[in-house]
Every structure is written in structure tokens, then in C-alpha cells.
Amino acid sequence: MAFHIIGTGSALPSRSVTNVELSEFLDTSDEWIVTRTGIRTRRLCTVESLDDLAVEASRQALDDAGIAAADLDLIICSTTTGDHIIPAEACAIAGRLGVACPAFDVSAACAGFVYALDVADGFLERGRARNVLVVAAEKMSRALDWTDRATCVLFGDGAAACVLAAGGASPLAFELSCMPDTESLAVSGIVGTSPFDSSVRDAGDGAHALKMDGRRVFKFGVTTICNAVEALCEHAQIDIDDIDRFIFHQANERILAAATARLGLDDAKVARTLADTGNISSACIPYTLDTLARDGSLAPGDLIALVGFGAGLATGSALIRWE
């Protein structure tokens, strides 16, 4: 039993923060950031909670699908920056929507949305669900060292969602993988206050903010996009030219440009949203999908390649048919 996407939605914080604003307290400039990342502005939470954004994106997706929350059989949320470790972000979404279906989170960093799609596909395939809400919600601003110009300029906050219904022409292929690496891109866990744990005593300022080896992640990003697209084509037994749209994780314009050139893609087929949102981790792909759907850029029957990659180092890719 395959699935098809019947609704999409997204939500961003109201506050837009430009590169010029960041240069007021960082040793950086608009030119420096745009040249190296392609990002001009990003949305950051000020008064909104991540729960707020996730629920708004979910409600938009349900409205777009034309179904009520009561019709959902399952909610899966991809997040690594939830408003709470316990309960799951998905449980908070279910509560605000007023439903009591199973709800749980998936944590696979920036590849999380595709991992969540694969999990949802399993429930649909086994007949355990007919309608599934898949949400990606990230508040990356809470995980950053705001004195580190190499990382804090890259990220933004936001949420996006889609409703999957049983039956249809998707997926044509899924590819999930992990190249184990816990050092190149990482955010340490909760410190806590245990008097027995030496990490509590030794933790300094910024010790638990995001750390990234930019060169390592760049190389991984370009390589994994290329390998993933080729693997999807092989799995589905299609040519790369048969794919109508490519939605890659919006990490950095240089990564997108390098992968596009290496694969020989028509640049017009490669979607981009990062200039206005920055990297919103696992929410990048569904946010871009919702943007394309709402501006009329997708046509029935279009083949869409999704490739997410990030900490882990994890990769999740899927080939879906837009209906």
C-alpha cells in the first residue's frame, strides 16, 4: 500500500533577522554571509514557542488536505530541538489538535523528515493507519552559540507538515543511511545537576551549544546529495532527467550549487528557500515542498527527489510522485 500527500502546511516565526542585524554584534557582514552561505535573512522565535509553530503548520496541512484532526490515525514529528525532551513534541501537537491517536518523535537531525516519511510509510503499508500527519519542527536558535559567527548565522526556526493518505503512487524509492560520526556536527545533551556527574562540574559557557566542522560537513553534503540521487534513480530504474524537482536540505548555497553542477542538473529544477529562512534543519524539506505546492510550481505526476543530510552523519532520501 503506497501513500500520497494530500495536504501541506508551514509556519515561521514573525521576527525576521537580517545579516546586517547580526553584524551589529558579530564580526561579520552581509557580504561575508551571503557569499559563503547564500543566506540573507532568517526567522527566529521571539514570542512563539515551537509548539505554536508545529501546531500552526499542522493545522494548515489539515486544512489543505480537507480532513479533520479527528481523522488522523498517527502523528510523527521530526525534531532535535523540541520545547520539551519529555513529552514528545508530537504529543504536544496531538494535545493542541485535540486528538488521542498515537504520537511520537523521530530524531535524525536534518534528515529527520525523510526518516519520518519512511516510518509513516511502514504504518500505511501494514494497514495500521489511513491518514498520517508528519511534522518537522525545529528551534535551532536555542542550540547555537551566538558568539560563533561560523555557525549562528546559518540557522533559523520554523515548522512544516504534510498529511499522508493511504494509496497512491509514492514512494518510488527510499534510501536511508548513516556514516557514524558524532564529532563533525553535534549538540551535547542536557547537563543536569547531578552531584555525581563530572560533566556537570566541567561544563563551561557554550559547552553545550552546536559545534560543527564546516569543511567536513560541506564535503559530506555534496557527496551525499550526489550519491543519494544516483541511488534513487537506480532503485526506481529511471534516468536522472526523468525527475522534475529536486528538494535538497537547505544547508548552504555552495553545497547546493556544487551538487547541482556535479550531477549535471538543470538548475531550474533545484528548489531553494534558504536565502529567506536559513537552515531550519529537518523542517527545510517540508517547508520547501509546501512553498512549491502553494505557489503552483508542482504539477500532478511530477517526480520529486528529496534528500536530507546532517548530524550523524545521517542521510535520508526519497523519490515521490506528486498527486
State the cell numbers at 223.
Answer: 557527496
Select which of 162, 249, 252, 284 is catalytic. Answer: 249
- Whether 162 is a known active-site residue: answer no
- Whether 91 is a known active-site residue: answer no
- Whether 208 is a known active-site residue: answer no
Q: 24 and 147 in contact (C-beta within 8 Å)?
A: no
Cα-trace Rg, the chain: 19
Rounded Cα gap, residues 98 and 76, in angstroms: 15
Rounded Cα gap, residues 183 and 18, in angstroms: 30
Select which of 77, 110, 162, 284 is catalytic. Answer: 110
Instruction: Indicate the pairing of strand 41-43 with strand 74-78.
Output: unpaired
Measuring CA to CA, how many Å separate 169 from each of 234, 276, 307? 18, 32, 19
* φ, ψ of residue 25 in degrees (nearest 5): -130, 0
3-state secondary structure of 97: helix
Rounded Cα gap, residues 281 and 292, in angstroms: 18
The one-letter code for the residue type at 211 is: K
Q: 259 and 250 in contact (C-beta within 8 Å)?
A: no
CB atoms within 10 A of CB 126: 9
State the catalytic residues: 110, 249, 279
